[in-house]
Amino acid sequence: MKPLQSKKILIGVTGSIAAYKVCHLVRLLVKEGAEVRVIMTASARDFVTPLTLSTLSKNPVLGSFFEDRETGVWNNHVELGLWADILLIAPATAHTLAKCANGICDDLLQAVYLSMRSGVYFAPAMDLDMLQHPATQANLDRIRSFGNRVINPGYGELASGLTGAGRMAEPEEILQVLTVHFSARPEAAGKKVLITAGPTQEDLDPVRFISNHSSGKMGYALAKAFSNAGCEVTVIAGPVKLAAPEVSEFVPVRSAREMYEATVSRFEKFDLIIFAAAVADYAPAHKAPEKIKKDGDTLSLDLVKTIDIAATIGRSRLSHQLLMGFALETQHELENAKAKLAKKNFDFVVLNSLKDAGAGFGHETNKIRVIDREQNVTTFDLKPKNEVANDLLEIILNKWQKEQQFS
């Protein structure tokens, strides 16, 4: 299930030119399966129409306490505060920040804010001098002290024509913040996770190396899933064409030897180690000091076996640690995966086959089977790698949850 699926998100829109960004944000949230309702202040309606946000959210836009003064139909701020899983005030103007910081309750949005029992996020938007003013900074500090969270504004060209900090965070950034918020899991609190990812490169000479087709996408997706869940994640990655993941520690390496040293020197402090890297099994016995010249029709290379990182740690693992490895097979898949599970002392092995369309190296998708110590096999359909990562996350979280119940 997507983290935002069925979540109730209340958005408070205030009077800023950045209000136009909320239209895109609402679309993104609805697409993720969230139920969105919008409250607009009177000044917000000068920048975007209630009809637009009502159409996008698929819910009536709220603006005042009374829907109809003649009949007494009104918008109950207490019920709205209880309904919402989260209140996001975006854009949050300097005026709104000041009112929230000081408990001024003069409209529906302020009444809902004061009634909220769950999380509140602010996405400030204003000119750079207004943002930097000591009064605004004091209000932001006060708002944070109440337990609210602030999504820091970005740097760039502002409506005034000046350039600096003050732009409301982009909708995609806000979506990511809310995704992380709803992805946090109590089972993951305090857990430390080490993930290896990507290929290794074994040098033949200063120009050439031996490697494989691993893209690192699966390992990076796992890093994101476990980090979003609230784990402290370290990634040790070989060379890939991906932006480094946002984790507690990122360690770039090239060779199998470098990955071995980085992993073995760290593994004892982790609760879970996931071996998602495609580490070279063999490396050149000697690296030529100069470029090897083309001479003759054939070239013979002496290769030596690299140190098996997973097997080394499997022999040295601590009692509380969980180990998960990957097995990419082309024949006798299940038999080979079960043998790897036992040989390397894993708790789980994730099997995928190059015979399955859309699985394996380079794809945005993967199709896996997971085998545990008891030889139970769980089969999953072909999915995007981020969803595969979430499936594996659930397996580990369920394991930790059971351990906590019996500890």
At 392, is the secondary structure helix, strand, or coil? Answer: helix
Counting beta carbons within 10 angstroms of the beta carbon of residue 360, is it exposed (0 to 12), middle (13 to 18) or buried (19 or more)? buried
Question: How many Cβ atoms sit within 10 Å of the Cβ of residue 405?
Answer: 7
Helices (H), 282-366: 309-316, 333-343
Residue 58 marked as a ligand binder: no
SS3 content of the chain, % helix, strand, coil (to 5): 35, 25, 40
Instruction: Output the CA–CA distances (angstroms, integers) from residue 206 to 209, 279, 307, in the order listed.
Output: 8, 20, 22
Q: Of 212, 336, 345, 386, which is the active-site residue?
A: 212
Which residue matches tokens 């693992």? Answer: 317
| Nearest Cα to Cα of residue 218 among 200, 239, 195 | 195
The amino acid sitting at 105 is: C
Using left for φ > 0, alpha for ψ between -120 and 50, and beta otherwise, residue 240 falls in beta
Structure tokens, 197: 């990812």
Beta pairing partners, 13: 40
Round to whole Å and give the CA distance between 44 and 38.
11
**CB-CB contact of 371 with 338 (8 Å):** yes
212 is catalytic: yes
What is the separation of C-alpha 119 from the centre of its chain, rounded to a whole number of angstroms? Answer: 19
Residue 287 marked as a ligand binder: no
Residue 340 marked as a ligand binder: yes
Q: Which residues are annotated as a binding site?
A: 281, 291, 326, 340, 344
Catalytic residues: 212
Q: Which residues are annotated as a binding site for CTP?
A: 281, 291, 326, 340, 344
